[in-house]
Structure 1
């Protein structure tokens, strides 16, 4: 009996090792190159990463607060809420009839199924209610988010406050050159164009206007005037640099969707090839976003 147990144990161990080997091999074979793609925001010694699809939605949520004249704190609350509710993913399922980024329920008056699964509508709906919460700017994230969402687990929002704060800081221009993305190269024949960038910018930040400029180094490019945007946002020209950094880092966070190959502002440039910001000598007071031909 003892010999049987030893033999069986040895056989089971060999079988487990064989299965593990197959799993490792399959992981090596089937893991796509895009698995390493990620966007990272850093501030105050903290670093938080999202995948490109999450980053696209986080960019919308983060900069939409500025578009609406709300403080970065509002974006912190919204981002923490979205991560807790859906991991910042536009999902079409949830508890009962909850849907979308914020898991809003049509049966509770948030809108139709189509509306709450529209990221722009869902984000604006969240901010609409948050803006009516008296003193939300100084509230704990859990309390402010709960006033909007009425969750069964309100304390869970606090788990994502640091992430929300770091991303909100970058997407509202308070942390400069702090949001980076490591992305795959733009594929040959990729349909992304400056026109698509303009369309997405108009959706997320209507007060900013992108203009096509002369090709540079064999690329197509657009530029955004942050001073003009700051004035249209009623922030004044003195906030042009902050607005510029908000737009520049929004452009990096959405680069996977737009196909942008570089983003330049002031004396810094993010390049898709390296995935980081670097100092450049040719400074610009416009946000310049380049694309491959």
Structure 2
């Protein structure tokens, strides 16, 4: 038998490029629709439609890159400059105000205690004038103990009186329900007790100082309060 000659491998023709496809085969490299065969010559030029599509894509990517890296300036917003508001300064009142109207320091301090209570109760200045004038008449604006009440000397005092069991700036009597001896010997308490009774008097704002004071104190000498009105007004004006 003779030997058969091996059949020659079929010859391959050039591989066509298919636009828009990526083909992978042995010895073939494809990129973006271009197919190259190793050892088979140069790759054919892409179809005109492919070239146009690639050019459009490159332009889009270039614009996107520029837009991504472009610095966008901040938008200036005009807002009115706020006007600084001025906060009212707190009035710092001295603990021991300078005496006026011929008072000494102890009397002035007691007048301050009366005015401070009136301010705390949000009363008009007229009420403070009535209260200071009353204390001027009753105790000469001193915090008095009572010779009749020995317990009153156990508390801070600035002299003493002997009118029944009357004590303090307004000579209020514990036996009449104004408060305990200890309470009435405190100027602030005594002032609040007086002013609380004053505002309960109907029409006190329209009364004279004498009439308003007498309505609270029920004194045996009602006309005595009037002589202290001018000095009391001067003192309150210096403190209020």
Task: Normalising by structure 1, report the TM-score.
Answer: 0.43
1:170 is displaced (CA, Å) by 2.1
Q: 1:141-290 residue pairs with structure 2 within 5 A?
A: 141-172=209-240
> Separation in 2 of the partners of 1:114 and 1:62?
21
3-state secondary structure, aligned to 1:49: coil
Structure 1: unaligned runs, 5 residues or longer:
1-37, 42-47, 173-293
Matched, 1:51 2:119: no
Query: Where does structure 1 differ by over 4 angstroms across 4 or more consecutive aligned residues?
Result: none
Q: 2:125 aligns with which of 67, 72, 97?
A: 72
Matched, 1:120 2:120: no
3-state secondary structure, aligned to 2:102: strand
Structure exhibiting the larger radius of gyration computed from Cα positions: 2
3-state secondary structure, aligned to 1:95: coil
- The answer to which structure, 1 or 2, has the higher relative contact order (CA under 8 A, 6+ apart) is 1
Q: 1:102 aligns with which of 151, 166, 170?
A: 170
C-alpha contact (below 8 Å) 1:62/1:167 kept by paired residues? no
1:63 is displaced (CA, Å) by 2.6
> Separation in 2 of the partners of 1:62 and 1:137?
17
1:40 is displaced (CA, Å) by 3.9
Structure 2: unaligned runs, 5 residues or longer:
1-96, 147-161
C-alpha contact (below 8 Å) 1:39/1:49 kept by paired residues? no
> Separation in 1 of the partners of 2:126 and 2:183?
25
1:50 is displaced (CA, Å) by 0.7
**Which has more helix, going by share of residues?**
1
Quick check: 153-162 or 163-172, which moved more? 163-172
Task: Encode CA deviations 1:186-211: one digit per residue, 9 max, x unaligned.
Answer: xxxxxxxxxxxxxxxxxxxxxxxxxx
1:133 is displaced (CA, Å) by 1.0
> Separation in 2 of the partners of 1:39 and 1:161?
20
Structure 1 vs Structure 2 CA RMSD: 1.7
> Separation in 2 of the partners of 1:54 and 1:171?
13
Task: Encode CA deviations 1:122-174: one digit per residue, 9 max, x unaligned.
Answer: 010001100101121221011100111111111000110111111112222xx
